[in-house]
């Protein structure tokens, strides 16, 4: 069964999402720069190639983040608290009973904050490489400012500087062109610049929640990371795990800040045990 594209009105916006599979509901939250667009199939930062694997076990609901892909945002902020509120509103609108939520990178951050905001709304969480931002001193913040703003002390996005940086490497250039084609194709020419501005605002500073706040989460939660992740360290993963009341920690060898089949299998095995 192929994924079906749908739209629902929740939290004041029209949320675009893909739905595939049957069984217990699973919200699958994408990371930064990518969306649910099938053009990302095969890219290591996207879930696009893994929907079938998740859908073998769950009713997968994969939304586009506010301001990204086909989910339009007309306001000023897409802070993580707003994105988490979108997830909770989507759960309510679709009448989902304590769904599992799995997210990669910023999707993992959003999933975790949703569970902090409304512990009873979710049945289980997988945070795959999305816990670094809970450290106010995380090296990820200057890295994000460098990537989106052109320098470690940038205070706003610089799309042209980002394009120049990505143009230095063939693989990065290809990722940039996919991002631009995705964002502009969904919301009009030049939207990629607006998307980068929105992403910079939430990724360049702490989200207002720290590791200690993870103790508010009551659902089983898996902290998942590769041992060579350049954003989320193993040490921070251990801190996040120890802050959780019902936490598990999985560290995959020889793995960077990407989604791999091994990560997907690990997430599915955990989520099935949480039924």
* Tens-place pLDDT, residues 129-156: 999 999 999 999 999 999 999 999 999 9
Residue 124 has which token pair?
């289980």
Could you tell me if 43 and 120 lie in one domain?
A: yes
Q: Are the beta carbons of 90 and 15 closer than 8 angstroms?
A: yes
State phi, psi for 137 to the nearest 5 degrees: -100, 20
In this prediction, residue 267 carries a pLDDT of 98
Per the structure, how many domains does the chain have? 2
Which pLDDT value is given to residue 169?
87
Whether residue 48 is found in the same domain as residue 127: yes
> Percent of the chain having pLDDT more than 70?
100
Domain CATH code at residue 96 = 3.40.50.1820
Please give the residue range of the domain that contains residue 111.
4-135+206-273
> 80 with 95, same domain?
yes
Last residue of a domain, one of 184, 204, 224: 204
Compute the average pLDDT of residues 32-41: 97
What distance in Å separates the CA atoms of residue 169 and residue 175, rounded to the nearest whole number? 10
Same domain flag for 71 and 18? yes
Number of Cβ within 10 Å of residue 221's Cβ equals 28
Q: Averaged over 19-28, what is the pLDDT? A: 97
Same domain, 122 and 154: no
**Average pLDDT of the segment spanning 230-239:** 97
Residues 200 and 210 in one domain: no
Does residue 74 share a domain with residue 22? yes
Taking the C-alpha atoms of residue 81 and residue 108, their distance in angstroms, rounded to an integer, is: 13
Distances (CA, A) of 245 to 43, 218, 220: 34, 7, 8
Read off the pLDDT of each residue in 244-249 and give the average, rounded to a whole number: 98
Residue range 6-27: mean pLDDT, rounded = 97
What is the pLDDT at residue 75?
A: 82
């Amino acid at each position: 069964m192929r994924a079906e594209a749908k739209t629902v009105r929740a939290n004041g916006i029209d949320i675009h999402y893909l739905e595939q599979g049957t069984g217990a509901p699973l919200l699958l939250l994408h990371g930064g720069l990518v969306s649910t667009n099938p053009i990302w199939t095969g890219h290591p930062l996207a879930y696009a190639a893994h929907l079938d694997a998740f859908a073998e076990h769950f009713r997968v609901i994969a939304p586009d983040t506010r301001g990204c892909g086909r989910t339009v945002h007309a306001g000023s902020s897409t802070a993580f608290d707003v994105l988490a509120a979108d997830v909770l509103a989507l759960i309510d609108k679709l009448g989902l009973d304590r769904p599992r939520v799995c997210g990669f990178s910023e999707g993992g951050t959003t999933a975790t904050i949703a569970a902090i905001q409304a512990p009873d709304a979710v049945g289980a969480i997988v945070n795959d490489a999305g816990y670094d931002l809970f450290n106010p001193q995380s090296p990820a913040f200057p890295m994000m400012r460098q990537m989106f703003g052109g320098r470690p002390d940038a205070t706003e996005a610089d799309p042209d500087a980002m394009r120049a940086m990505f143009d230095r490497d063939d693989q990065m250039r290809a990722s940039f062109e996919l991002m631009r084609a995705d964002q502009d194709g969904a919301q009009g020419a030049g939207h990629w610049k607006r998307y980068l501005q929105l992403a910079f605002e939430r990724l360049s500073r702490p989200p207002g929640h720290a590791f200690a706040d993870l103790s508010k989460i009551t659902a089983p939660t898996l902290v998942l990371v590769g041992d060579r992740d350049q954003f989320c360290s193993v040490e921070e993963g251990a801190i996040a795990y120890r802050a959780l009341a019902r936490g598990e920690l999985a560290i995959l060898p020889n793995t960077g800040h990407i989604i791999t089949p091994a990560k997907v299998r690990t997430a599915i095995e955990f989520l099935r045990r949480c039924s």
